[in-house]
Amino acid sequence: MKLQQILIDDQSENQIISTSPDFNATKANLVLAFGERELLECSQPYRKLRELYSEAQIVICSTSGQISNFNLVENKIVSTAIEFEKSTIKTVEIDLLKNKNIEELGLVVKNELFNDNLKLLVVLSEGSYVNGTELVNELGKQSNYSLPIFGGLAGDRVAFLKTIVGLNKEAEEGKVVVIGLYGDAINFSSGCEGGWTDYGPEREVTLSEKNVLYKIGDRYALDIYKEYLGKYADDLPSSALYFPLSMKENKDSSPVVRTILSIDEKTKSMTFAGNIPQGSFVRLMKGNFDKLIDASYSAASAAFSSHTKDPELALIVSCVGRKIVLGNRVEEEFEAVKEVSGNTLLCGFYSYGEISPIKNHEFCELHNQTIAILTISES
């Protein structure tokens, strides 16, 4: 595998961050380009990327901040071109605005990408309309829950106005891009951690519909949430990024984190970025700077642990909520990953949701408020 990473903006020439020896731009077969939505709309980077990488599948995704090999980046597009030397890729783009039937979307992916040689799916989805839980579950159903899936939901800084994704054209609203990686030479591993601390009792969800939570026990969900938030309740829903929810589908399942997107004072309900099934169990959580940063180190350690030498590439997807809570300490999350990564090239973005297995090579979940890391190499 050979790689090239560059920075793109409107004001200057492309800045090369890293290039593998003997990298040949005409042989690159995948490009991942991450940038803030306004920057992508203004700079229209697809034509420039196509001129550089004539044969590549080019995926463009809006973010709440970019991750390059050396630091966190704002106001510049981070583009990583990949030349798989022993593996192959295929891609498909789905338009959620034209077709909202999630089962039909799953069939498109199955018909276009699935075969016996498929080893991994990477999903970059718009983050405004999609129900990430339903998307992940549908892909799982089509693959009999046996195929590792990794990725994230596009971001829009902290504006939450719209998100855009594109495949082989400029990024647009409503798009989901799925990348299939094929061949026995591909090696990968993943890690995903939150670092949030539970507080308060575990309670059963008694009334919910998909990602809308109405009642916990015999009380309205919003009433309980406001009671625990105290003075922070006046700043809902934005303050919810500091206090996500831990959710287990049953008593024995592993917990996942859910972030509130909106509240409804009339129905006293809360809408989350992923589903909160009726009968599941939830607890409130709160952040601690050191634990969040330690979780980044743990996720990186898990993602790198199965490789006998440094993998060529690590794709990092971290939640915008972590970025907001960490504030001016957010660079420490990146430095924690760098401690583990060695000579691996890093790329990624801050997202509205993370898609990753909880444990290595198990089927994936939609997460919120986590950092998820995928490491890839070729043998």
Mean pLDDT of 355-368: 78
Is 70 exceeded by the pLDDT of residue 262?
yes
Q: Which residues pair with 6 in a beta bridge?
A: 16, 79
pLDDT at 170 over 90: yes
Q: What mean pLDDT do residues 12-41 have? A: 94
pLDDT at 135 over 80: yes
Q: How confident is the model at residue 23 (pLDDT cuts 50, 70, 90)?
A: very high
What global pTM score does this model have? 0.92
The confidence band for 159, taking pLDDT boundaries of 50, 70 and 90, is confident
Q: How confident is the model at residue 161 (pLDDT cuts 50, 70, 90)?
A: confident
Mean pLDDT of the chain: 92
Dihedral angle of Cα 136, 141, 142, 148, to the nearest 10 degrees: 60
The structure tokens listed for 78 are 């981070």
Q: State yes or no: pLDDT of 219 exceeds 80.
A: yes
The Cβ of residue 120 has, within 10 Å, a number of other Cβ atoms equal to 20
Average pLDDT over residues 37-60: 96
Range with the largest mean pLDDT of 137-141, 142-146, 164-168, 248-252: 164-168
pLDDT confidence tier of residue 90, bands split at 50, 70 and 90: very high
pLDDT value at 359 more than 70: no
pLDDT at 362: 62
pLDDT reported for residue 124: 98
- Selection from 38, 30, 72 nearest residue 376 by Cα: 30
Contacts of residue 137, Cβ cutoff 8 Å, sequence gap at least 6: none
Instruction: Measure CA 307 to chain center.
Output: 22
